[in-house]
Amino acid sequence: MQYRKLGNTGLKVSAIGLGTNRFGSKVDENGVAEIMQVAMEHGINFFDTANVYTDGNSEKLIGKALKSLPRSEVILATKFYMKVGEAPNDRGGSRKHIMDAVENSLRSLQTDYIDLYQYHRWDQDTPIEETLRAMDDLVTSGKVRYIGSSAFPSWMMATAQKVSQAHGWNQFVTEQPHFHMLERKVKEEVLPAAAYFGIGILPFFPLAGGFLTGKYKRGEAAPVGSRGEDSSYVQRYMTDGNYDLLEKLTAFAEERDHTMGELAHAWLLAHPQVSSVISGATRLEHVIANAKAGDWQLSEAEFSEVNEILEK
């Protein structure tokens, strides 16, 4: 496993991170404990969740699993912003909601600090100064080590950084975008902004919900139990054009004794702004395969060839 700096910080995270948005739905308590243990054994030290994943159960199951893991070796990330209740302040970027949310996450995770606390979405109803000041207070209090954003366009990234710089507050060190081989829009402005500000990119859904593993075949029903059976997210990629692309990329990977899934991860990691690829797992074999993908470092020639395939 290779390790990279989290943005411009000195913190080292595994190039492959573990996404946990299905802990508590597809994975039960015992499964979560096993997956996290095996992930650590394969060099994965970065675990990403959010307070709304599976209605908060993801955080709770991670908290239980953490009891049997060395907490100092785990880099734990979670998020706030989304609706967590019916009261008017049970969502958003206000100081009140942030302070309530962090305390709830700390209890659920059964820890006294969060390594990376991420603003899940920009709240148009709250001044960014209020949000950033509250997040800065969390860092100075020791409850949070670093802060980041998620799904921010470049102008939001720039605004947040400039506001924090002006006030001398802690700045966002990461941005978590929807980014994979079939979703490349972030390359236009988000990646350049990240490079300028020293922000680490944490791509989520790197395998397009499993489509980029190659397990879905043209003209065939989705495998039983797979996301592709009923997920509109996966099904939207099931086009003739994408299948053509997938066949070319799979051939490229197999010629080099790698899988399509490994290529999808390696391609993301070939972008220097990427700190860690957040890859979900519901079974042990997923974890092992994802960890292995982090070992493949594309050469410049290979990266260029893959980009040429994608752009055509």
User: Could you give the CA distance from residue 8 to residue 17 in angstroms, rounded to a whole number?
Assistant: 18
Task: Write the class of the CATH domain 3-311.
Answer: alpha beta
User: Could you give the CA distance from residue 216 to residue 37 in angstroms, rounded to a whole number?
Assistant: 29
Looking at residue 62, its pLDDT comes to 98
Looking at residue 219, its pLDDT comes to 85
Q: What residues contact 185, with CB distance under 8 A and at least 6 apart?
A: none
pLDDT in tens, 68-123: 999 999 999 999 999 999 999 999 999 999 999 999 999 999 999 999 999 999 99
Domain spans of the chain, in order of start: 3-311
Query: 77 with 46: CB under 8 angstroms?
Result: yes
Q: What residues contact 224, with CB distance under 8 A and at least 6 apart?
A: none
Active-site residue (options: 53, 81, 117, 216): 53
Looking at residue 312, its pLDDT comes to 83
Give the mean pLDDT of 169-174.
98
Cα 309 from chain centre: 25
Looking at residue 127, its pLDDT comes to 97
Give the mean pLDDT of 229-245.
92
Looking at residue 229, its pLDDT comes to 84
User: Could you give the CA distance from residue 200 to residue 195 in angstroms, rounded to a whole number?
Assistant: 8
Handedness of CA 286, 288, 289, 290 (dihedral sign): positive
Q: What residues contact 110, with CB distance under 8 A and at least 6 apart?
A: 63, 64, 66, 67
pLDDT in tens, 178-201: 999 999 999 999 999 999 999 999
Alpha helices in the chain (DSSP H): 29-41, 57-66, 95-109, 128-141, 154-167, 190-197, 232-235, 240-255, 260-269, 284-293, 300-311
The three-class DSSP label of residue 47 is: strand
- Longest CA–CA span in the chain (Å) reads 57
Looking at residue 148, its pLDDT comes to 98
pLDDT in tens, 11-49: 999 999 999 999 999 999 999 999 999 999 999 999 999
Give the mean pLDDT of 151-164.
98
pLDDT greater than 90 at residue 220: no
User: Could you give the CA distance from residue 12 to residue 222 in angstroms, rounded to a whole number?
Assistant: 38
User: Could you give the CA distance from residue 292 to residue 197 in angstroms, rounded to a whole number?
Assistant: 30
pLDDT in tens, 107-122: 999 999 999 999 999 9
pLDDT greater than 90 at residue 172: yes
Give 3-state DSSP helix, strand, coil % of the chain, rounded to 5: 45, 15, 40
Looking at residue 225, its pLDDT comes to 78
pLDDT band at 230 (very low <50, low <70, confident <90, very high): confident
> Is 53 assigned a catalytic role?
yes
